[in-house]
Structure 1
Amino acid sequence: MQVLRLGVIVPSSNTALEPLTQEIVASLNANDTLGLKITVHFARFRVTTIALSESANAQFTLEPMLDAARLLSDARVDVIGWSGTSASWLGFGSDEKLCQAIQEATGIQATTAVQGMNWLLKGITENVGLVTPYTQDLNQAIQKNYSSIGIEIPDDLSRYAGLSDNVSFSAVDDQALDKMVDQVVQNGAQTVLIMCTNVRAAHRARHWETQYATSKLLVLDSVATTVTGMLRQLGIKFHDDSMVQQWGRAFGTEFCD
């Protein structure tokens, strides 16, 4: 059986993405059609605040992220994923530079939560909703960033919890997420982006897609899209839709090349 090692870069104050990623990987290992044994390994770098400020943005400079990637390379992982969403407001080019730098520094291919999300968004330009734990100005920066690539997220399809302390994001509960998702879907969203890897939402994607099945809702959670993006980098395709029953349509065969 083929063994694959996934390496994941984690914001230091994030408490949600590691257990969720482990749960997803456990489900993958239970999927007999893949014929794989997948392990996942994590490395952290310091991130404590998410805001539109020079000091907050400085947390995402290349060197500390490359240090984390180098530590993962010591474990000889097959791919490295940045499980963070900073490119959604800093600009998608920041992820491109990061992945190129990781490749050059370690020889290991790399991807990110936002790149995985954007791949799944191919061909979708309208009726996109955004749900985050962030502040209004950060959501607006994300909306502007997506507008630059032809994906319009109007204000009535954008919801936020108004938080900036990264630790607090994981306390946004199912009830609060359900309310925000419901609001953007009721306003016309057919695709919903859950933009933050410290929000416990990956396990809710299937619930929302089932609840709003008449609109054929697609939920793209950033923890989940880190995993799907890494698998895509490795050329792994789903042969059936068994993963959809637990984690939503992002894991469906409809997105296999």
Structure 2
Amino acid sequence: MTMQVPAIGVILPSSNRVVERVTKSILADFPGVDACFSRVPYAGHPPDGYDLDPFLYSAMMLAQAKPRIILWNATRGALLGFEPDRKLCALIERETGIPATTTALETSALLNSLALTRIVLLQQGDAEEGARLSTTFATQGISIVARHDFGINDNFEASSITADEIAHRATDLASHHPDAILIWSTNLDGHPLTGELSKELGIPVFDSAAVGTLAAIRRLPIEDGAAYEERIAFRAVSV
């Protein structure tokens, strides 16, 4: 009898070019873990929540591959105020019987667990979205002390922002002496930069796509839990 490799199921926005790459890179350090992917439309959601039908369809398709957890690896939930993500997870769990989480919820939990409550933010949207994020993160006990708004409305275009531009903006924001820097879009390619930036700036730099992926891995029932926890802790500021 063969042993089934545990897997995370990942739902990502239709226009995302980064999440799958980040997930595969991280899983290179976790050879006993697999990943399955599905997509939902980026556009067409109500302003205060989600069009739930595509999520349910994607979750049901993922459920056929029997992942141990389903992750919505996107940051929209923070813009909505986090509660829609909690409701989305509850719906997915009820319909599939599989635990669910989101990058927005896991990021809030991570920052609070580490007492990193003064952060600076790089986010892809305009100033209005940036202001909304400042408000919604504050409801989670997290203060955005400074931010850079890239002003991008087309989600696909976020993936074309260069590594040099992201690093430059992060370095500028570090002058505000935050507890941490957060790259807040799973379609911003901050994943390869965070390790070196953390060392150079002397503060943690988190990539949102990586935070979601690592949180999902942490939820898996893995035999050598201590070794995996050590890798997760290292990866959190080294990816």
What letter is aligned with 2:160? A
Alignment match, 2:134: 143
SS at match of 1:42: strand
Determine the C-alpha separation between the residues in 2 that align with 1:93 and 1:58.
Answer: 10
Query: What TM-score results when the alignment is normalised by the length of structure 1?
Result: 0.83
Alignment match, 1:3: 5
Q: Does 1:119 align with 2:105?
A: no
Determine the C-alpha separation between the residues in 1 that align with 2:212 and 2:92.
Answer: 16
Structure 2 counterpart of 1:63, from 49, 53, 76: 53
What letter is aligned with 2:68? D
Alignment match, 1:42: 37
Cα distance per residue 1:188-247 (max 9 Å; x no partner): 12211111111111121101111112xxx11221111111221232255453755666x4
CA contact (8 A) 1:125 1:150 kept: no
Gapped regions of structure 2 (runs ≥ 5): none
Alignment match, 2:154: 165
Determine the C-alpha separation between the residues in 2 that align with 1:200 and 1:16.
Answer: 6
What letter is aligned with 1:249? V
CA contact (8 A) 2:116 2:180 kept: no
Question: Structure 1 226/250 Cα, relative in aligned 2: closer, same or farther at 3 Å?
Answer: farther
Question: Structure 1 176/83 Cα, relative in aligned 2: closer, same or farther at 3 Å?
Answer: same
Cα RMSD over matched residues?
A: 2.2
Tell me by how many angstroms 1:114 deviates.
Answer: 1.1
Tell me by how many angstroms 1:249 deviates.
Answer: 2.7
Q: Does 1:72 align with 2:62?
A: yes
Count of equivalent residues:
233
Determine the C-alpha separation between the residues in 1 that align with 2:45 and 2:11.
Answer: 20
Structure 2 counterpart of 1:210, from 189, 193, 199: 199
Gapped regions of structure 1 (runs ≥ 5): 30-36, 49-53, 252-257
Structure 1 counterpart of 2:78, from 70, 88, 100: 88
CA contact (8 A) 1:143 1:152 kept: yes
CA contact (8 A) 1:103 1:110 kept: yes
CA contact (8 A) 2:111 2:117 kept: no
Q: Does 1:249 align with 2:231?
A: no
Query: What TM-score results when the alignment is normalised by the length of structure 2?
Result: 0.89
Structure 1 counterpart of 2:205, from 208, 216, 219: 219
